[in-house]
């Protein structure tokens, strides 16, 4: 009998799966192989990840509930049930995080001379320094806000640290008064203390404020005080059909976001119940998202600590990103691309050549036009500057700017406007679709006519993330891909309707059916007894339709090896689904971001890179591209990259059928594969080889007769 | 002397350099078609040897036809969207550095009441001039692209009789070629959309809608004259956006010329034909409005296919923009590489005259004489190749009105020509040809005469010059016996001397010539002198 793989028992909930991803980041804090300061950073990431998760995902679940939506998701959970499960999973994770902080990181830091002092541990000199610091620096900017019949509960801003206090009511018989003080975000969270032994000691600024809090309420008794933090719903809901001008709409919603519903309350351990109850009640928060925290709130402050100078030996060894040998040896980038396709593997190889390419194009008299999609680009991006320069030089520059990148709009609007001023033709995205593909097209008039140069990548044109995200980029002068690129831009610019493409496959129009076709073909081949497999590396596997097909494929004997960095809603290893599905995940020094899809096709492998994950939003609501890798050398390389990743057994954790992950590293050095380290080493060696080749003198005298 | 030579040498050198430069960089050209359903632009790069490479094709769906055909004029919104689309096309042209372009508009704009406002608005907002073309120009441009494509691909032997079926939304065009030349053209109001709309309501009432469509179409093409002998047709060429769309969906399109065998076609036919529009739309993910036209298009193709003895369908994958491009590229080719499309028109015009049982020998005589005069008078009339060509057509057709009746045959000729929408001629050109034919005879034209009164002044003058010539040429063969052989022509001071020889009695010719000479003098300021030499006498000497 045919199994119904659409049943909810075959799906993991995406929020819970995402939390497991965050758990894997947390596991890095506990990995003895990681340097201490990197562990701090991982812990900071766990925290900022959770913040975003609450603002976006939990916020959206609340939105669903508020809108009366109560349908179960693919895994059979209603929004209410999901919140329930998220609550208990988050509580455990927060507990584990602070256990690690208190149990491992604080002692380890202390061993390295970095101490976090509590008020009780301060010396007299330190005390008087802090008193002075409080009076002259902190006190002037503090604004206590009291709540009584005439004054409503103040608005507590998203993600700020605050101190709640209960102050004695001097009116006889009156209730204690609640007041709240925001810890001023203008000052560093960690106050550095003077130290005699050359060690470094810090105290949290909220502790300093708490020490002297009575000075804010002169004469009244402070009954209780606690440090707390609120996270608010930050999801954007824009009715695009109603929006005359996309840009204005987003600008408006940026201001609105601050007023989102509170979705989480974190309170430092030791607070009295009365205070916690007041907060939860006034913020209209249910108990489930009130987290009592054993340690300092908002560990994103660890990012600051990471920047502390003088601890390089407690961080990853600095990696110098070499320029791809294929580009290093050539003067002229277009010449190099014309020779053959060039594959770039970031961050192992430098992203600079891409920035260089735009700069070169700006100066090149033969270049007519440059077109590029920009998504989440940093404010001071050299790419943006290069594009503006090109427009200045009279090139036709078209830039598709994606405004809806979450929590990044302010940044986007700013530079988009500056590009417009420089004379670029700026398109602010498409109504109802986010442009997620990353593509650059350079049109050049050459002796034999118009030629096109294309760069397509799995990663954004962002020089900063290109240092920490793993991505694959393809530089090509393939005529078909060139024409496809033009068609893609014509569609994005609204010049044309559905583009007809030769080699590229575009979402939301064609990509889903292409993946369906590719999976179905493996199924067909497996049924006919042919070799059949699917190997893929992606960020998220959520799409129920794809998952259903993967189960069917597995049942028919298609071997499926997946490397999914983040959410994975499939359940690997289920007996009923043929046990042919294997899912691993790598979390490490670099954020795994490249997407590679490989289909056996009866031995005639189909190999692709893509900007798309197997998620509904990528396949149905975004403009994405799937790029076939055809050049034999490039194919070899992508294939090798995928294989090394799939063989990783140092960082790659295997997902079990219930959605937990386990690491199975072989003992001893032999047989260990650490993909990220492997690629760093490989890129460095290749660069050295290239350098040696270049420096090899033609006439090399022998210094002495060879011996033995 | 030396200096002059050196100077001349420099000039030659410069020209060489210019030529080398032109050879090196291919020419860029953009063709824009403001059609009834969409605006389309194609940007190409053409090498001097005639190779055309497409750089970009874009289209924007703006159903102008819906406005014009329903309300008689274009809506505010359509005009606005059209201007925006042209502006974006213009931007894309700048991306490639395109400096040459042509923009034409067809029936949706041509038939709109407010077309002049629209064209003015487009000019003001985009700086582009819109050229309005008629149906026969449109179809002939597409024909140019078909012929170019088939000649280049050598996919079929084009010297065999070939039927070209061009299916558009509102009408179909049937073209027949023999020996690589056009011999017939017919337009039927049997477009895919029109068929669908005429009998769409029947779909609900029958389970075999396909059969109904087949019968409807069959009945309509029964009377197409030259389809009766279609067993001789060995090539069948289709221009149909729908068929190309279907081939694309089925992954059978090659981008260039596609050839389907009868079996291939039947397979596709069976695959699509029994599906309802909704199923086609869902299954292939095409918009409903597109899917609607699939079935009628396929039936049309099959009906015509069945009437030919061709074993395959040739799909050249071209449209109007390709025609514009081919016209431009072909025009810049050297003589030996160029396709002579005027030969197609001439061939077609001669077949047309044949159908009206014209006096071939008389017409050939007039044609020959008129062209000789035209050539000799080049410095006097200052007209070009195209005018010569129009004169030639008028000579072939000037007497076809006799098929209807002798008196006044020239008015019949004029009416037939105006009604027959000569392929490849603009409205102005058609009026020129019909007017030349009308006034070849006894009626003497003035600027307010029928035909001429529709023209702008410069066109009137040109037409008058050509009329003056055909009158003289016709006079030389008044008796239709080709008595006078032209020996030489010459302009001498204020005289135009025509020296002829004959062995026969030529009083009628001489008398007619003198009568018509007055108009010639009025137009050219030259007095025609007919010298008739007796060739008997010559041989006797």
Q: Which residues of B touch A396 (CB under 8 A)?
A: 91, 94-95
pLDDT at B8 (0 to 100): 38
Q: How far is residue A237 CA from its own chain's centroid? A: 21
Strongest mean pLDDT among A400-409, B304-313, B325-334: B325-334
Q: Are residues A233 and A171 in the same domain?
A: yes
Q: Are residues A448 and A575 in the same domain?
A: no
Q: Encoding tokens for residue A373?
A: 């999609």
Q: Say yes or no for a CB contact (<8 Å) between B47 and A450.
A: no
pLDDT at A625 (0 to 100): 96
Yes or no: say if B372 and B392 are a contact pair by the CB < 8 Å rule.
no
Over the stretch B45-64, which tens digit does the pLDDT of each residue have?
Answer: 988 778 898 999 998 888 88
Q: Are residues A220 and A288 in the same domain?
A: yes
Nearest-Cα distance to chain A for B236, in Å, is 27
Q: Encoding tokens for residue A620?
A: 């149905």
Q: Which residues pair with B240 in a beta bridge?
A: B167
Q: Domains in chain A: how many in total?
A: 3
pLDDT at A241 (0 to 100): 31
Q: Are residues A498 and A578 in the same domain?
A: no
pLDDT at A91 (0 to 100): 94
Q: How far is residue B429 CA from its own chain's centroid? A: 11
Q: Say yes or no for a CB contact (<8 Å) between A494 and B95.
A: no
Q: Say yes or no for a CB contact (<8 Å) between A396 and B94.
A: yes
Over the stretch B67-110, which tens digit does the pLDDT of each residue have?
Answer: 887 788 899 999 999 999 999 999 999 999 999 999 999 888 88
Lowest mean pLDDT among A51-60, B14-23, B331-340: B14-23
Nearest by CB: A396 against B26, B28, B95: B95
Q: Say yes or no for a CB contact (<8 Å) between A496 and B57.
A: yes
Residue of B nearest to A485 (CA): B56
Is B22 in the A-facing interface, judged by CB distances under 8 Å? no
Is A495 in the B-facing interface, judged by CB distances under 8 Å? yes
A562 φ, ψ (degrees, to nearest 5)? -120, 145
Q: Are residues A524 and A651 in the same domain?
A: yes
Over the stretch A629-687, which tens digit does the pLDDT of each residue have?
Answer: 999 999 999 999 999 999 999 999 999 999 999 988 887 777 899 999 999 999 999 88
Residue A703 lies in a domain: no
Residue A487 lies in a domain: yes
CATH number for the domain including A137? Answer: 3.30.1840.10
Report the relative pairing of strands A622-628 and A505-507 from DSSP bridges.
antiparallel
Q: Is the pLDDT of residue B16 over 50?
A: no
Nearest by CB: A495 against B58, B94, B285: B58
pLDDT band at residue B11 under the 50/70/90 scheme: very low
Residue of B nearest to A425 (CA): B91
Residue of A nearest to B40 (CA): A496
Over the stretch A477-503, which tens digit does the pLDDT of each residue have?
Answer: 999 999 999 999 998 888 877 777 889
ipTM, two decimals, is: 0.73
Percent of all residues in chain A with a pLDDT value above 70, rounded to a whole number: 91
Over the stretch B463-481, which tens digit does the pLDDT of each residue have?
Answer: 999 999 999 999 999 999 9
Is B83 in the A-facing interface, judged by CB distances under 8 Å? no
Lowest mean pLDDT among A139-153, A360-374, B272-286, B467-481: B272-286
pLDDT at B152 (0 to 100): 81
B185: number of Cβ within 10 Å: 26
Q: Is the pLDDT of residue A424 over 80?
A: yes
Q: Are residues A413 and A549 in the same domain?
A: no
**Dist CA A19 CA A8 (whole Å):** 19
Residue A701 lies in a domain: no
Residue of B nearest to A490 (CA): B58
Averaged pLDDT, B278-290: 80
Is A513 in the B-facing interface, judged by CB distances under 8 Å? yes
pLDDT at A48 (0 to 100): 93
B485-492: strand order across its sheet? B485-492, B495-502, B527-534
CATH number for the domain including A517? Answer: 3.30.870.10
Q: Say yes or no for a CB contact (<8 Å) between B97 and A445.
A: yes
Q: Are residues A200 and A345 in the same domain?
A: no
**Domain residues for A516?**
511-686
Q: Is the pLDDT of residue A248 over 80?
A: no
pLDDT at B23 (0 to 100): 43
**Dist CA A73 CA A82 (whole Å):** 9
B258: number of Cβ within 10 Å: 19
In Å, the largest CA–CA distance within chain B is: 92
Known catalytic residue: A436?
A: yes
The DSSP code for A367 is: E
Residue A695 lies in a domain: no
Give the long-range contacts of residues B383-390, CB within 8 A, separation 24 or more.
B383/B462, B383/B465, B383/B466, B386/B429, B387/B462, B387/B465, B387/B466, B389/B342, B389/B345, B390/B425, B390/B429, B390/B432, B390/B433, B390/B436, B390/B466
Averaged pLDDT, A11-17: 95
Is B89 in the A-facing interface, judged by CB distances under 8 Å? yes
Q: Are residues A387 and A533 in the same domain?
A: no
Averaged pLDDT, A292-317: 93
- Residue that finishes a domain, picked among A442, A476, A503: A503
Residue A282 lies in a domain: yes
Over the stretch B345-376, which tens digit does the pLDDT of each residue have?
Answer: 999 999 999 989 999 999 999 999 999 999 99
Lowest mean pLDDT among A6-10, A115-119, A418-422: A418-422
Q: Are residues A559 and A496 in the same domain?
A: no
Yes or no: say if A198 and A175 are a contact pair by the CB < 8 Å rule.
no
Q: Is the pLDDT of residue A249 over 60?
A: no
pLDDT band at residue B203 under the 50/70/90 scheme: low
Residue A390 lies in a domain: yes
pLDDT band at residue B202 under the 50/70/90 scheme: low
pLDDT band at residue A410 under the 50/70/90 scheme: low
Over the stretch A602-617, which tens digit does the pLDDT of each residue have?
Answer: 999 999 999 999 998 8
Q: Which residues pair with A471 in a beta bridge?
A: A346
Please report the residues numbered 384 through 413 in chain B whose beta carbons come closer than 8 angstroms to any beta carbon of chain A: none
Residue of A nearest to B249 (CA): A500
pLDDT band at residue B210 under the 50/70/90 scheme: confident
What are the distances in angstroms from CA B286 to CA A99, A520, A593, B254, B278? Answer: 58, 22, 34, 20, 10
Q: Say yes or no for a CB contact (<8 Å) between A398 and B95.
A: yes
Percent of all residues in chain B with a pLDDT value above 90, rounded to a whole number: 49
Q: Which residues of A touch B24 (CB under 8 A)?
A: 447
Q: Which residues of A touch B97 (CB under 8 A)?
A: 368, 445
Q: Say yes or no for a CB contact (<8 Å) between B88 and A494.
A: yes
pLDDT at A646 (0 to 100): 96
Sequential DSSP letters for B431-457: HHHHHHHHTTSSPPP-TTSTTGGGS-H
Over the stretch A16-36, which tens digit does the pLDDT of each residue have?
Answer: 999 999 999 999 999 999 999
pLDDT band at residue A238 under the 50/70/90 scheme: very low
Q: Is the pLDDT of residue A562 over 50?
A: yes
Q: Say yes or no for a CB contact (<8 Å) between A495 and B88.
A: yes
Report the relative pairing of strands A434-435 and A425-427 from DSSP bridges.
unpaired
Q: Are residues A100 and A169 in the same domain?
A: yes
Average pLDDT, chain A: 88
Q: Say yes or no for a CB contact (<8 Å) between A368 and B95.
A: yes
- Residue that finishes a domain, picked among A294, A314, A334: A314
Nearest by CB: B59 against A443, A496, A509: A496
- B171 against B25, higher pLDDT: B171
Residue of A nearest to B46 (CA): A449
Average pLDDT, chain B: 86
> Is the torsion defined by CA of B141, B143, B146, B150 positive or negative?
negative
pLDDT at A362 (0 to 100): 92
pLDDT band at residue A411 under the 50/70/90 scheme: low
Residue A319 lies in a domain: no
Q: Are residues A499 and A550 in the same domain?
A: no
Residue of B nearest to A493 (CA): B88
Q: Which residues of A touch B25 (CB under 8 A)?
A: 445, 447, 449
Q: Are residues A359 and A468 in the same domain?
A: yes
Lowest mean pLDDT among A402-406, B131-135, B262-266: A402-406
Residue A466 lies in a domain: yes
Catalytic residue among A436, A455, A593, A674: A436
pLDDT at B10 (0 to 100): 39
Nearest-Cα distance to chain B for A622, in Å, is 18
pLDDT band at residue A254 under the 50/70/90 scheme: very low
Averaged pLDDT, B374-384: 93
Determine which of A372, A394, A495, A500 to mutate to test the interface with B (most B C-beta atoms within 10 Å): A495
B154 backbone φψ class: left, alpha, beta (φ>0; ψ -120 to 50): left
Q: Say yes or no for a CB contact (<8 Å) between B58 and A490.
A: yes
Nearest-Cα distance to chain A for B184, in Å, is 35
**Dist CA A614 CA A636 (whole Å):** 24
Domains and CATH numbers, chain B: 24-133 (3.30.420.40), 136-323 (3.30.420.150), 341-540 (1.10.3210.10)
Nearest-Cα distance to chain A for B339, in Å, is 24
Q: Which residues of A touch B61 (CB under 8 A)?
A: 497
pLDDT at B62 (0 to 100): 86
Predicted TM-score of the model (pTM)? 0.82
B214: number of Cβ within 10 Å: 17
Nearest by CB: A496 against B28, B60, B97: B60
Yes or no: say if A473 and A343 are a contact pair by the CB < 8 Å rule.
yes
Over the stretch B214-269, which tens digit does the pLDDT of each residue have?
Answer: 788 878 777 666 655 655 788 899 999 889 888 888 878 777 889 999 999 999 99
Q: Which residues of A touch B85 (CB under 8 A)?
A: 495
**Dist CA A319 CA B256 (whole Å):** 51
Give the long-range contacts of residues A671-678, CB within 8 A, separation 24 or more.
A673/A644, A673/A647, A673/A648, A673/A649, A674/A648, A674/A650, A675/A586, A675/A644, A675/A645, A675/A647, A675/A648, A675/A651, A676/A470, A676/A586, A676/A588, A676/A589, A676/A590, A676/A651, A677/A650, A678/A644
Q: Which residues of A touch B55 (CB under 8 A)?
A: 450, 483, 486
Q: How far is residue A551 CA from its own chain's centroid? A: 28
- Residue that finishes a domain, picked among A291, A314, A337: A314
pLDDT at A66 (0 to 100): 78
Alpha-helical regions (H) of B276-339: 277-284, 288-291, 294-307, 320-331
């Amino acid at each position: 009998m045919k199994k119904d793989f659409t049943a909810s028992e075959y799906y993991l909930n995406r929020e819970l799966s995402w939390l497991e991803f965050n758990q894997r980041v947390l596991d890095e804090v506990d990995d003895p192989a990681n340097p201490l300061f990197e562990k701090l950073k991982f812990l900071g990431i766990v925290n900022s990840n959770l913040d975003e998760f609450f603002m976006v995902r939990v916020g959206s679940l609340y939105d669903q509930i508020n809108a009366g939506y109560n349908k179960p998701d693919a895994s059979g959970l209603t929004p209410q049930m999901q919140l329930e499960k998220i609550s208990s999973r988050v509580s455990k994770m927060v507990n584990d995080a602070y256990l690690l902080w208190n149990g491992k990181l604080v002692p380890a830091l202390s061993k390295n001379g970095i101490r976090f002092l509590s008020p009780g541990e301060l010396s007299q000199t330190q005390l008087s320094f802090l008193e002075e610091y409080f009076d002259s620096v902190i006190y002037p900017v503090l604004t206590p806000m009291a709540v009584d019949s005439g004054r409503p509960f103040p608005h507590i801003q998203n993600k700020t640290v605050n101190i709640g206090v209960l102050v004695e009511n001097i009116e006889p018989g009156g209730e204690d008064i609640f007041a709240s003080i925001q810890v001023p975000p203008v000052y560093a969270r960690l106050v550095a203390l003077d130290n005699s032994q050359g060690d470094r000691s810090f105290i949290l600024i909220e502790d300093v404020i708490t020490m002297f809090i009575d000075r804010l309420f002169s004469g009244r008794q402070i009954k209780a005080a606690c440090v707390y933090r609120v996270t608010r719903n930050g999801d954007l809901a824009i009715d695009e059909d109603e929006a005359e001008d996309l840009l204005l709409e987003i600008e408006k919603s940026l201001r609105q976001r601050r007023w989102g519903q509170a979705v989480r309350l974190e309170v430092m351990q030791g607070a009295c119940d009365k205070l916690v109850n007041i907060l939860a009640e006034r913020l209209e928060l249910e108990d489930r998202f009130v987290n009592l925290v054993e340690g300092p709130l908002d560990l994103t402050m660890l990012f600051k600590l990471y920047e502390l100078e003088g601890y390089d030996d407690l961080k990853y060894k600095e990696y110098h990103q070499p320029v791809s040998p294929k580009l290093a040896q050539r003067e002229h980038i277009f010449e190099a691309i014309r020779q053959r396709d060039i594959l770039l593997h970031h961050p192992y190889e430098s992203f600079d050549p891409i920035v260089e390419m735009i700069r070169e194009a700006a100066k090149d008299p033969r270049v007519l036009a440059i077109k590029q999609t920009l998504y989440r680009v940093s404010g001071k991006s050299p790419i943006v500057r290069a594009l503006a320069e090109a427009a200045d030089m009279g090139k036709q520059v078209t830039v598709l700017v994606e405004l809806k990148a979450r929590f990044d709009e302010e940044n986007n609007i700013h530079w988009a406007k500056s590009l417009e001023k420089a004379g670029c033709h700026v398109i602010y995205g498409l109504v109802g679709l986010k442009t997620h593909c990353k593509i650059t097209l350079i049109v050049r008039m050459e002796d034999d006519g118009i030629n096109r140069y294309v760069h397509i990548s799995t990663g954004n044109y962002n020089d900063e993330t290109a240092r920490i995200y793993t991505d694959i980029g393809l530089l090509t002068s393939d005529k078909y891909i060139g024409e496809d690129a033009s068609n893609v831009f014509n569609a994005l610019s609204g010049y044309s309707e559905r583009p007809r493409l030769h080699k590229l496959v575009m979402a939301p129009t064609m990509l889903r059916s292409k993946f369906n076709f590719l999976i179905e073909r493996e199924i067909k081949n497996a049924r006919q007894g042919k070799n059949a497999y699917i190997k893929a590396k992606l960020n998220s596997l959520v799409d129920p339709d794809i998952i259903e097909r993967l189960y069917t494929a597995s049942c028919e004997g298609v071997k499926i090896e997946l490397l999914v960095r983040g959410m994975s809603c499939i359940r690997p290893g289920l007996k009923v689904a043929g046990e042919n599905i294997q899912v691993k995940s790598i979390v490490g020094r670099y954020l795994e971001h490249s997407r590679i899809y490989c289909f056996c096709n009866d031995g005639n492998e189909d190999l692709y890179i893509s900007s798309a994950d197997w998620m509904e939003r990528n396949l149905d609501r975004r403009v994405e591209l799937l790029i076939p890798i055809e050049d034999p050398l490039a194919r070899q390389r992508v294939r090798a990259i995928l294989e090394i990743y799939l063989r990783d057994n140092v960082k790659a954790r295997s997902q079990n059928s219930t959605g937990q992950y386990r690491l199975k590293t072989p003992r001893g050095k032999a047989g260990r594969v650490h993909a990220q380290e492997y690629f760093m080493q490989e890129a460095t060696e290749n660069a050295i080889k290239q350098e040696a080749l270049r420096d090899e003198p033609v006439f090399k005298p022998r210094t002495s007769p060879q011996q033995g | 002397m030396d200096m002059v030579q050196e100077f001349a040498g420099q000039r030659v050198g410069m020209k060489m350099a210019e030529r080398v430069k032109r050879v090196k960089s291919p020419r860029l050209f953009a063709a824009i078609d403001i059609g009834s359903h969409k605006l389309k632009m194609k940007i190409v790069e053409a090498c001097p040897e005639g190779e055309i490479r497409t750089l970009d094709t874009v289209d924007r769906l703006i159903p102008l036809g819906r406005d014009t055909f329903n309300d008689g004029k274009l809506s505010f919104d359509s005009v606005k969207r059209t201007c925006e689309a042209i502006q974006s096309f213009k931007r894309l042209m700048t991306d490639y550095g395109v400096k040459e372009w042509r923009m034409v508009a067809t029936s949706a704009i041509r038939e709109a009441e407010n077309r002049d406002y629209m064209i003015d608005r487009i000019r003001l907002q985009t700086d582009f001039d819109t050229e309005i073309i008629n149906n026969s120009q449109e179809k002939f441009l597409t024909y140019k692209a078909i012929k170019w494509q088939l000649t280049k691909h050598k996919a079929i032997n084009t010297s065999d009789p070939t039927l070209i079926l061009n299916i558009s939304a509102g009408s179909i065009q049937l073209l027949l070629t023999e020996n690589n030349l056009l011999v017939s053209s017919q337009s039927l109001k049997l477009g895919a959309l029109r068929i669908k709309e005429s009998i769409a309501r029947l779909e609900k009432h029958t389970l075999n809608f396909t059969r109904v469509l087949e019968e409807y179409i069959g009945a309509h093409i029964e009377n197409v004259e030259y389809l009766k002998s279609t067993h001789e047709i060995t090539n069948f060429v289709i221009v149909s956006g729908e068929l190309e769309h279907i081939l694309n969906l089925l992954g059978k399109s090659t981008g260039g010329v596609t050839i389907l065998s009868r079996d291939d076609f039947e397979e596709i036919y069976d695959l699509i034909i029994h599906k309802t529009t909704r199923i086609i739309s869902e299954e292939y993910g095409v918009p409903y409005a597109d899917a609607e036209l699939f079935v009628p298009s396929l039936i049309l193709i099959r009906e015509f296919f069945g009437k030919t003895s061709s074993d395959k369908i040739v799909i050249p994958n071209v449209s109007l923009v390709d025609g514009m491009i081919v016209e431009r590229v072909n025009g810049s080719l050297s003589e030996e590489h160029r396709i002579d499309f005027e030969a197609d028109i001439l061939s077609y015009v001669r077949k047309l005259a044949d159908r009206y049982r014209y006096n071939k020998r008389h017409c050939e005589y007039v044609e020959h004489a008129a062209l000789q005069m035209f050539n000799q008078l080049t410095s006097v009339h200052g007209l070009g190749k195209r005018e010569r060509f129009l004169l030639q057509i008028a000579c072939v057709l000037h007497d076809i009105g006799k098929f209807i009746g002798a008196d006044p045959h020239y008015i019949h000729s004029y009416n037939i020509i105006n009604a027959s929408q000569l392929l490849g001629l603009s409205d102005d050109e058609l009026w020129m040809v019909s007017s030349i034919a009308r006034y070849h005879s006894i009626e003497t034209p003035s600027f307010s005469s029928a035909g001429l009164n529709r023209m702008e002044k410069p066109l009137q003058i040109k037409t008058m010059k050509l009329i003056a010539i055909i009158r003289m040429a016709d006079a030389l063969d008044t008796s239709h016996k080709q008595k006078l052989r032209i020996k030489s022509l010459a302009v001498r001071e204020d005289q135009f001397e025509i020296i002829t020889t004959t062995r026969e009695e030529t009083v009628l010719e001489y008398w007619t010539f003198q009568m018509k000479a007055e108009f010639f003098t009025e137009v050219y300021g030259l007095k025609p002198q007919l010298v008739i030499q007796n060739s008997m006498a010559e041989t006797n000497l």
